[in-house]
Amino acid sequence: MSKKTKITIQEVNSYLDAIRPHIQNDGGDIEVVDVNENNEVIIKWLGACAVCDKRELTFKYGVKNYLIENMPEIKDIIQI
């Protein structure tokens, strides 16, 4: 049985840095709060993104797809 690789917040942030400028252009940002023992990434929307009605679309078709495509070891991404 192979050992599960633990993802770090820094690794997730390094991928988010590629798309973060697009989020910041709209007055918002995204924070990686934690990566739990199951490799579930917990994020929090900041600024304008915290109250934006398009946040779910950005999450589903942008952030979530991008991270899982580039980091297949991620099991899920949870918004708080």
State how far the Cα of 11 lies from the Cα of 58, in Å rounded to an integer.
20
> Domain residues for 34?
9-79
Q: Does residue 29 lie in a domain region? A: yes
Residue 75 φ then ψ, to 5° = -90, -35
Residue 36 φ then ψ, to 5° = -80, 180
Q: Does residue 1 lie in a domain region? A: no
CATH code of the domain in which 25 resides: 3.30.300.130
Q: Does residue 46 lie in a domain region? A: yes
What is the reported pTM? 0.88
Per-residue pLDDT of the chain (80 residues; tens, 9 = 90+): 445 689 999 999 999 999 999 999 989 999 999 999 999 999 999 999 999 999 999 999 999 999 999 999 999 999 99
**Could you tell me which residues come within 8 angstroms of residue 44 by beta carbon, excluding any fewer than 6 positions away?**
30, 31, 33, 50, 79, 80
Q: Does residue 25 lie in a domain region? A: yes
Domain count, the chain: 1
The DSSP symbol for 8 reads -
Q: Does residue 3 lie in a domain region? A: no
